[in-house]
Amino acid sequence: MELIYEKSKPGRRAAVLPRRTVPAATIPSELRRSAPPRLAEVAEPDLVRHFTELSTRNFGIDTGFYPLGSCTMKHNPRANERAVEVPGFRDLHPHQDADAAQGALELMWRLQEILAEVTGLDAVSLQPAAGSQGELTGLLLMRAYFEDRGEHRSEVIIPDTAHGTNPASVTMAGLELVDVATDERGNVALDDLRAKVSEHTAGLMLTNPSTLGLFDEGIVAITDTIHEAGGLCYYDGANLNAVCGISRPGDMGFDVVHINLHKTFSQPHGGGGPGGGPIAVRGFLEPFLPIPAVTRDGDRFDLDAHRPLSIGKVRGFAGPFGVFIRSYAYIRRYGPRLREMSEAAVLNANYLLKHLREAYDVPYDRICMHEFVVSAQSLKRNHGITALDVAKRLMDYGFHPPTIYFPLVVAEALMIEPTETEAKETLDAFVQAMLAIAEEAREQPDQLHEAPRSQPVGRLDEVKAVREPVLRYLFEGHPRRE
């Protein structure tokens, strides 16, 4: 398919601007641009067709089943998209006076209250733009807290099953990483944890349920161990979809939590973003939260930037407001019945796990939470078929593949998260496809090595992409390819 720049013709355009009689701009000549940027030059019909064709070469949750582990690809209600388009929200300037933004501030305040209740914590900042920014915010806040107390604590303990964002955030916050091992049941290895804590421990970062889809059975001992050493506990909320209304991070002993609004609370992920990563904290950490705070005084809502101990701002304005609207709308549809969402997510995952164990290895043989990890290790050993082959072949059956090769502690990992919004027929069809692929691995393995064959392109030469990087269209100098 051609790039939009390859469809350009000089003189074509889609935009017609209003005619206004105005004085000429007075731009000093040394600041003026000489050659125009080569943006696309297309008329509106071709502009619409170009992006429509691109969309047909993409797969979303609207297209079909998307069991991408750790990403919580659930249905995105269309009512939420309409809510964002209401002019009172869509066209509201972030510098508007608080008096003239009471509805927006009330929505944010209400969402904060909801997230405090769901996490079992006391205070919330909606500002972080994504989960990983929530992590950085939480770590900077932990650091500020200890600095305020005159304590020098620099080590953050993270299990080997953690998302890569956790250690990356630790580095960005100027702290040091300490790894802790996973035991044979998939829990944090308590002996190792006890050996790692010290007076240098600033805290622990933990995802619970873990990226193995397992609820840590030793969670109380884990958070107690950290607290006894004087550290704080950070909960990575990537897997919160498993436990809403069932178990709260605050009740597990966590002091700081981030919530991925684009996972648990249905902000559509848009091919990579936007997201939202609010953090919730215990009361004693509230003074360190980002500014501005959304406050309530009777019926009046306001933004308050006077927080002398605050870590500052992590993003412009008060946060990704459109994301707040969607997540608020989503939660209001469930209310106190949010628990049913998590129950259905866990039921669907266990149902898939039950059937897939017939043909795939199960590294940790337990009841799972909202997701689980199976392995293609036996298929690889016996038939030379890898997790990657299984993933690519799933496309030919019309499914988006699961997350593969993660977590790192499981060889040939396939991490599967069906979410609560899938029908039983869909789950059954996915099981049939996975079992059929395992059968193909035995009978006709080439079928799998050549997959996918149903997509606009086959497997890519990713090494070439790295060795000979072409990161933009180069016009006349662009490599000629089919």
Partner 1 sequence: MTDASAEMGSSPVGAVPASFLALTSAEREEMLAAIGVSSVEELFADLPSAVVLERTLELDPPLSEVELSDHIETLASRNVHTGMELSFLGAGMYDHYVPAVVDAVLARGEFLTAYTPYQPEMSQGILQAIFEFQTAICELTGLDVANASGYDGATVAADACFMAKHATGRARVVVGQTVSPQVRQVIRTYARGFELEVIEAPIREGVLDPHEVGRLAVDAAAVIFQQPNFFGCLEPAPALAAAAASAGALPVAHVDLLSLGLLQAPGDYGCALAIGEGQGAGNRLSYGGPHYGFLAARQDLVRRMPGRIVGETVDVAGRRAYVLTLQTREQHIRREKATSNITTNQTLLALAGLVYLSWLGPAGLRELGELCAGLTELAKATLDVEPLFEQPTFKELAVRTARPALDVVRDARALGVNPGYPLGRDYEGMDDALLIALTERRSPEDIERLSAVLTEVGA
CB of 291 to partner 1, least distance (A): 8
CB 104 within 8 A of CB 110: no
CB of 78 to partner 1, least distance (A): 9
CB 216 within 8 A of CB 206: yes
Query: Cβ closer to partner 1: 291 or 438?
Result: 291
CB 330 within 8 A of CB 80: yes
Of 321, 353, 332, the closest CA to residue 417 belongs to 353
Distance CA 324, CA 110 (A): 10
Of 136, 193, 441, the closest CA to residue 315 belongs to 136
Of 49, 1, 119, the closest CA to residue 455 belongs to 1
Of 422, 353, 376, 338, the closest CA to residue 213 belongs to 353
In sequence order, the 6+-apart residues with CB closer than 8 A to the CB of 236 are 131, 135, 162, 163, 165, 166, 205, 206, 207, 258
Widest distance between CA atoms in the chain: 77
Of 311, 31, 322, the closest CA to residue 173 belongs to 311
Query: Cβ closer to partner 1: 3 or 442?
Result: 3
CB of 285 to partner 1, least distance (A): 16
Query: Cβ closer to partner 1: 103 or 381?
Result: 103
Which position has the token pair 């016996």?
A: 382
CB of 237 to partner 1, least distance (A): 13
CB of 461 to partner 1, least distance (A): 5
CB 188 within 8 A of CB 141: no
Q: Is 277 helix (H, G, I), strand (E, B) or coil?
A: coil
Q: What is the dihedral of CA 44, 47, 49, 52, to 10 degrees?
A: -130
Query: Cβ closer to partner 1: 21 or 184?
Result: 21
CB of 186 to partner 1, least distance (A): 10
Query: Cβ closer to partner 1: 314 or 441?
Result: 314
Distance CA 306, CA 318 (A): 14
CB of 356 to partner 1, least distance (A): 12
Q: Concatenated DSSP letters for 398-429?
A: T----EES-STTSTTEEEE---TT--HHHHHH
Distance of alpha carbon 20 from its chain centroid, rounded? 45
CB of 230 to partner 1, least distance (A): 21
Distance CA 27, CA 9 (A): 29
Query: Cβ closer to partner 1: 381 or 453?
Result: 453
CA distances from 184 to 188, 224, 364, 406, 477 (A): 9, 21, 8, 17, 55
CB of 390 to partner 1, least distance (A): 12
Query: Cβ closer to partner 1: 110 or 383?
Result: 110
Task: Count other Cβ atoms within 10 Å, centred on residue 424.
Answer: 9
Query: Cβ closer to partner 1: 270 or 381?
Result: 270
CB of 191 to partner 1, least distance (A): 19
Query: Cβ closer to partner 1: 308 or 469?
Result: 469
Query: Cβ closer to partner 1: 269 or 380?
Result: 269
CB of 272 to partner 1, least distance (A): 3
Query: Cβ closer to partner 1: 177 or 181?
Result: 177
CB of 439 to partner 1, least distance (A): 20
Query: Cβ closer to partner 1: 329 or 376?
Result: 329
Q: Is 202 helix (H, G, I), strand (E, B) or coil?
A: strand
CB of 199 to partner 1, least distance (A): 22
In sequence order, the 6+-apart residues with CB closer than 8 A to the CB of 398 are 64, 65, 454
Which position has the token pair 């099981």?
A: 431
Of 127, 346, 313, 163, the closest CA to residue 237 belongs to 163
Burial class (CB in 10 A: 0-12, 13-18, 19+), 381: exposed
Query: Cβ closer to partner 1: 51 or 442?
Result: 51
**Pair of tokens at residue 55:** 């969309």
